[in-house]
Structure 1
Amino acid sequence: MRIAIALTKEGERVYPGPFGHAPRYAIYEVGPEEELRLLEIRENPYAKEHGEEKHAKMRELLKDVALKVGARFGHGGSLGAFPVADRVEVGAVSLEEALSRLKERSSA
């Protein structure tokens, strides 16, 4: 399973705003022993866009990702780019803290 974590421009913290406005995403693969391996840092060319067209672009950008992790998410339900079940809010914490929370969550 792949996970996308919304990052600040510097990449050391979870982006504090809505997930879709993050300038980049850390893409992790969850391995067989529940270890997280960084695959890439993916730029978000749609960060400053708004509206339904953006939602379609974001779904395409992250089509290989099963779980989205961010400080917060915008619209819910059918208006949002991602279903509620496929996302986790962790707040504007460090990337290290977000990864720790994901590991705790998977072992619970």
Structure 2
Amino acid sequence: MRLAIALAKRDETKVYPGPFGHAPRFAIYEVAEDGKPRLLEVRENPYAAMEGGDKHQRMRELLKDVDLRVGARFGHGGSVGAFPLADRLEVGPVSVAEALERVRERQNSA
């Protein structure tokens, strides 16, 4: 499984505290069957400052290779936003390590 974690502006060890789509960049991880995450890349978000229009479609395209989006919060409830509830995990403004632990807990409870 691949996941994208919204990264804080100046500290890549923290989750971006605002809406997922406004994060300046994303840490892309591959999570192996044994649950161990491996950082693949840090991907810039060229749409961070964008509002409305086709932002949702652009965000889906930017993260089309990702199965789960992880952020402090998401801008829209239900499946109205760019990503349906099943494809995202709200963790609050925590460290990336804590976010990865919450992903592992989610996998174990599934």
The TM-score normalised by the length of structure 1 is 0.93
Listed as ranges, the matches of 1:1-108 within 5 Å are 1-9=1-9, 10-108=11-109
Cα displacement (A) at 1:105: 2.1
The unaligned stretches of length 5 or more in structure 2 are none
Cα displacement (A) at 1:28: 0.5
Say whether the 8 Å CA contact 2:79–2:85 is kept in structure 1: no
Cα displacement (A) at 1:63: 0.2
The unaligned stretches of length 5 or more in structure 1 are none
Cα displacement (A) at 1:78: 4.7
- Secondary structure (helix, strand or coil) at the match of 2:35 reads coil
RMSD value over aligned CA atoms?
A: 1.2
Cα-to-partner distance string for 1:13-46 (whole Å, 9 max, x where unaligned): 1000000000000000011212111100000010
Cα-to-partner distance string for 1:39-96 (whole Å, 9 max, x where unaligned): 0000001000011311111000000001000000001345311111110000000111
Q: Distance in 1 between matches of 2:89 and 2:106?
A: 10
Cα displacement (A) at 1:97: 1.1
Code of the residue aligned with 1:69 in structure 2: it is V
Q: Distance in 2 between matches of 1:50 and 1:79?
A: 15
- Secondary structure (helix, strand or coil) at the match of 1:59 reads helix
Code of the residue aligned with 1:88 in structure 2: it is L
Instruction: Detail structure 1 runs of 4+ shifted over 2 Å in the superposition.
Output: 76-79
Q: Distance in 1 between matches of 2:97 and 2:91?
A: 12
